[in-house]
């Protein structure tokens, strides 16, 4: 991040060059292609001898503004914007792996990420090892001569396990591995993995970057040489972000810091409430002193984020009863919205995993994930207490 400006200023003041219309807010460039002044300009652009837009599958002023903001926030040299968070995850792996390579992946990552690693990559002769986030002392012994990348998510979805990014970076450098970090839960405001040595950082812009559940998109940022490979891969495979979504996300970034402060404040208060609730078996939130990695969370995160998970007493049946009893809050599989969302990961976002795999990453049958919104916290607590009362056996 630019040391001369604060995060909020970067988010608000990083804009496209003003056009001759003298607009105050960046315009929307809804165009599939861009014209050339002459044949030589066209040749030079396609030969990468000059910077400029050719086709919106390659670049667009709106995606360029969004990428520049995220790069400044993350401390990255370059980036690329794609059509979804999962497109970002896949496009952060595919350019760097080939038949015969091996990838190390924290088992505690999003369900669709595990599907790519365990079901898609092996089709192209790429092997994998899943790592236990609670046994990081074993990770080094699992690195193979053909290992190329370590992929992890911290905090993890949904168990909120953390990985020490500084330690992971040193491990990767020792064995010449790329460190690829999914920073979706933390956002660039709460955590900058490149500060700790990450090579590549991905985001689902669908979540907190948008913040209102309106659009789908993804971002990949990192070192220039690596993003050049990502850009080549994406340019020819086509997972481009639309100009409209890029414009929307860029405008949303202007309020990211304000929103995340409120998300985190509400989430901590909710976690404290749940921790004392007689119907709750356990609570996970990185900035709760009871979290086993509380010290690490304080070291590498600005605050604990907007996600709280808890295990309700009574297991799967009681978890269903609770979800059916919730009123006034949203029951959907998304997160990072202004509206509080209640989700049951075992039957939705991580349902494709085996029961054994879910249990291995802390997804118990009664686990409830709450994406804490921006409503007044007293209203959130009141509605959850009502749900507990309605669902009580």
pLDDT digits (tens, 9 = 90+) for 154-191: 999 888 999 999 999 999 999 999 999 999 999 999 99
* This prediction's pTM: 0.94
Residues 231-239 have a mean pLDDT of 97
Q: Pick the more confident residue, 167 or 3.
A: 167
Which pairing describes strands 127-131 and 102-106: parallel, antiparallel, or unpaired? Answer: parallel
Q: Is 302 left (phi over 0), alpha (psi -120 to 50) or beta?
A: alpha
Which helix (H) or strand (E) is 219 found in, with range? strand 218-222
Q: Which residues does 348 contact at the CB level (< 8 Å), separation at least 6?
A: 333
Distance of CA 308 to the CA centre of its chain: 16
Query: How does residue 365 score in pLDDT terms, banded at 50, 70 and 90?
Result: confident
Q: What is the CA radius of gyration of the chain?
A: 21
- What is the CATH T-level fold of the domain 257-391, as seen in this structure? 3.90.1150
pLDDT for position 369:
94
- The sign of the CA dihedral 332, 335, 339, 345 is positive
Q: Which residues does 236 contact at the CB level (< 8 Å), separation at least 6?
A: none
Query: How does residue 351 score in pLDDT terms, banded at 50, 70 and 90?
Result: low
What is the architecture, at CATH level 2, of domain 7-253?
3-Layer(aba) Sandwich (3.40)
Least Cα distance to 54 among 71, 33, 72 occurs for: 33
Q: Average the pLDDT over each of 20-24, 83-87, 215-219, 249-253 and give the range with the smallest value.
A: 20-24
Helices (H), 142-185: 165-174
Residue 171 · residue 149 · CB < 8 Å: no
Q: Token pair of 153, please?
A: 């998510």
Classify each residue of 271-283 as buried b or exposed e, where b means 16 or more C-beta atoms within 10 Å of its C-beta.
bebbbeeebbebb
CATH 3.40.640.10 intervals, the chain: 7-253
Residue 346 has pLDDT above 80, yes or no: no
Classify each residue of 227-257 as buried b or exposed e, where b means 16 or more C-beta atoms within 10 Å of its C-beta.
beebbebbbeeebbbbbebbbbbbbbbbebb
Hey, is 341 helix, strand or coil? strand
Query: How does residue 111 score in pLDDT terms, banded at 50, 70 and 90?
Result: confident
Q: Which residues does 298 contact at the CB level (< 8 Å), separation at least 6?
A: 287
Which residue in this structure is represented by tokens 């990192």?
A: 222
CATH 3.90.1150.10 intervals, the chain: 257-391
Q: How far apart are CA 373 and CA 343, in angstroms?
A: 13
Q: How far apart are CA 288 and CA 67, in angstroms?
A: 33
Q: How far apart are CA 232 and CA 235, in angstroms?
A: 5
Q: How far apart are CA 180 and CA 5, in angstroms?
A: 27
Which pairing describes strands 307-312 and 330-331: parallel, antiparallel, or unpaired? Answer: unpaired
Give the distance between the most distant pair of CA atoms in the chain. 76
């Amino acid at each position: 991040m630019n040391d001369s400006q604060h995060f909020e200023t970067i988010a608000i003041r990083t804009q496209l060059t003003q056009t001759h219309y003298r607009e105050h807010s960046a315009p929307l460039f809804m165009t599939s292609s861009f014209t050339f002044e002459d044949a030589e300009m066209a040749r030079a652009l396609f030969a990468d001898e000059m910077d400029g837009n050719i086709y919106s599958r390659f670049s667009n002023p709106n995606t360029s503004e969004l990428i520049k903001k995220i790069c400044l926030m993350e401390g990255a040299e370059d980036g690329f914007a794609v059509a979804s968070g999962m497109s970002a995850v896949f496009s952060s792996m595919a350019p760097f792996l080939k038949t015969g390579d091996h990838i190390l992946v924290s088992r505690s990552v999003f369900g669709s990420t595990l599907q790519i690693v365990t079901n898609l990559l092996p089709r192209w002769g790429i092997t994998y090892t899943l790592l236990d986030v609670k046994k990081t002392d074993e990770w080094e012994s699992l690195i193979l001569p053909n290992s190329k990348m370590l992929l992890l998510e911290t905090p993890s979805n949904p168990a909120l396990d953390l990985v020490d990014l500084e330690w992971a970076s040193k491990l990767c450098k020792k064995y010449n591995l790329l460190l690829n970090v999914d920073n979706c839960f933390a956002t660039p405001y709460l955590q900058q993995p490149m500060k700790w040595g990450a090579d590549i950082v991905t985001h689902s812009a669908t979540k907190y970057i948008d913040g209102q559940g309106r659009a789908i998109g993804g971002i990949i940022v990192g070192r220039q040489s690596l993003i050049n490979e990502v850009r080549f891969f994406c340019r020819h495979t086509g997972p481009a972000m639309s100009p409209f979504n890029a414009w929307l996300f860029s405008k949303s970034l202007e309020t990211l810091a304000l929103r995340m402060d409120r998300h985190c404040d509400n989430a901590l208060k909710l976690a404290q409430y749940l921790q004392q609730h007689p119907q709750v078996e356990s609570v996970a939130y990185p900035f709760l002193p009871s979290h086993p990695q509380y010290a690490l969370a304080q070291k590498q995160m600005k605050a604990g984020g907007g996600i709280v998970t808890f295990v309700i007493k009574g297991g799967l049946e009681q978890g269903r009863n609770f979800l059916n009893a919730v009123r006034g809050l949203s029951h959907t599989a998304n997160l990072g919205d202004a509206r509080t969302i209640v989700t049951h990961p075992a039957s939705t976002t991580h349902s494709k995993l085996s029961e054994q795999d879910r249990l291995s990453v802390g997804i118990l049958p009664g686990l409830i994930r709450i994406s804490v919104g921006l409503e007044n916290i007293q209203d959130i607590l009141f509605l959850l207490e009502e749900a507990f009362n309605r669902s009580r056996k």
